[in-house]
Amino acid sequence: MLSKVAERIYWSARYLERVESTARLLSIYDKLMFDLPRRVNLGWYNLIVINSLEEDFNNRYSVRDERNVVKFLLGDDNNPCSVVNSLRAIRENIRTTRDVIPGEAWEMVNELSLFVQESLAHGVNRSVRHEFLESIVKTCQQIVGLLSVNMTRDEAWEMLQLGQNVERADMTTRNLDAGIAAIQQVQDDDYAVNARQIIWGNVLRSLNADQPYRRAMRSSIKGDTVVDFLMGNEQFPRSLTFCANEIAERSKRLPKSEQVVERALAIRSEVSRLLEADEFGASFRDDLNDLQVSLAEVHGLIQTTWFLSDK
């Protein structure tokens, strides 16, 4: 398979995952805000922090309110990761790899891209936002489903899986970090237990993990167990361990994969080591940061190994 095609497919998968998770994050965030005690001061701006977009956002807006955050994450031209820009990137990438992606996927991506651009206002408007975001999430899932049912299990497929898992691992670390940051704002009073539960519940929902969590952990929502699940669970497709395993396994089926496999497995060991800690407090945020750096390294290795084959 052409290096350039591999690269485009890898990015399509990453962006597709990003669109879905951004839409989900936005669609459940207002519920979190309604549930939290008034005294917990967790603003919409937190969503900007989760995605490390502070600089881009502040260049554009001075008011950190709901409207601006939603606009920025959905349709802002200055935000490279906005839903509209991500969809544009997917569309261009798929358009240039139409020879290896099923034709229907192109049609769906094209339709979704048109739909979002045309109905962007629905996302900003609170009363119809939920429906709008739901349909983005659904269509993303349909596209992923369509690919998984139809695509030949060749290198293109492995590239798609690599992109998806690198993006997922990154998203999971970000959501965990955001969770811990929010918990730190909770004051130790009568409402604390309840507030913590709401925050961790929201982290789980952001990753579509609440139901799997309950089944796997058979526990109420508690910080330690949530961290344990989202990092160490072997079966849940968005857990760090699962993603690292997938990256290693998919890479093994591709040529010249030794370095990528080694690095992915190192992340896995790192996760196991971190989970031995007694509690996940402020210093854990540094550990998560280190994990993100490691993931960036895996991404870099994927690039040098397969996308720059002539160098």
Partner 1 sequence: MSIEWKDYAPGEFYDELISSPGCAREPAEQLIEYLQTLSDEDINSRKIAAESTIKEMGVSFTVYTEGGNIDRAWPFDILPRVISKTQWDKTAAGLKQRLKALNMFIDDLYHEQKVLKDGIVPEFVLKQSVNYRKECEGVSPRFGVWAHVCGTDLVRDKDGQFYVLEDNLRVPSGVSYMLENRSIMKRVIPEVFEKVNIAPVGDYPENLFDTLAALSPRDVEKPVVVVLTPGIFNSAYFEHAFLAQRMGAELVEGSDLVVLEDNCVYMKTIAGLERVDVIYRRIDDMFLDPEVFHPESVLGVRGLMRAWRAGNVALANAPGAGVADDKVVYAFVPDIIRYYLDEEPLIPNVETFLCYDDKQREYVLANLDKLVVKPANESGGYGMLVGPHSTKKDRETFAELIKANPRNYIAQPTLALSTAPTIVGKNKVEPRHLDLRPFVLQSRDSYVTTGGLTRVAMKKGSLVVNSSQGGGSKDTWIVDTGTGIE
What is the SS3 string spanning 74-130?
A: HHCCCCCCCHHHHHHHHHHHHHCCCCCCCHHHHHHHHHHHHHHHHCHHHHHCHHHHH
Residues in contact with 286: Cβ distance below 8 Å, sequence separation at least 6, in sequence order: none
Contact 25, 81 (CB under 8 A): no
Subset of residues 232 to 271 that bind partner 1, contact rule: CB under 8 A: 254-256
**Of the candidate residues 77, 111, 189, 290, the single one contacting partner 1 (CB under 8 A):** 111
Instruction: Check residue 153 for interaction with partner 1 (CB under 8 A).
Output: no
Residue 240 CB contacts under 8 Å (≥ 6 apart), including other chains? 169, 172, 173, 230, 231, 232, 267, 271, 291
Q: Which of residues 114-133 bind partner 1 (CB under 8 A)?
A: 114
Q: Supply 47's token pair.
A: 């969503």
Report the residue from 49, 110, 216, 270 that binds partner 1 according to the rule CB under 8 A: 110
Q: Which is nearer to partner 1, 247 or 274 (CB)?
A: 247
* Both structure tokens of 156: 């293109």
Place of tokens 């959905």: 74
Which two structure tokens, joined as six digits, stand for 186? Answer: 């909770």
How many Cα atoms are found within 13 Å in the side-chain-facing hemisphere of 38? 0
Q: Is 204 in the site for partner 1 (CB under 8 A)?
A: no
Q: How many residues bind partner 1 (CB under 8 A)?
A: 26
Instruction: Return the DSSP state at 304.
Output: I
Asked if 303 interacts with partner 1 (CB under 8 A), we say no
Q: Which is nearer to partner 1, 99 or 286 (CB)?
A: 99
Tell me the two tokens of residue 246: 């997938």
Give residue 301's Cα distance to chain centre. 20
Among 39, 67, 95, 215, binds partner 1 (CB under 8 A): 95
Which of 55, 62, 99, 127 lies at the binding interface for partner 1 (CB under 8 A)? Answer: 99
- Applying CB under 8 A, among 6, 84, 136, 267 the residue interacting with partner 1 is 6
> Interacting stretch for partner 1, rule CB under 8 A, among 77-85, 88-96, 185-193, 212-220?
88-96
Residue 306 sits in the site that holds partner 1 (CB under 8 A): yes
Among 59, 62, 103, 293, binds partner 1 (CB under 8 A): 103
Q: Is 310 in the site for partner 1 (CB under 8 A)?
A: yes
SS3 at position 276: coil
Can residue 2 be called a binding residue for partner 1 (CB under 8 A)? Answer: yes
- The tokens describing 105, both together, are 């996927």
Residues forming the site for partner 1 (CB under 8 A): 1-6, 92, 95-99, 103, 106-107, 110-111, 114, 155, 254-256, 306-307, 309-310
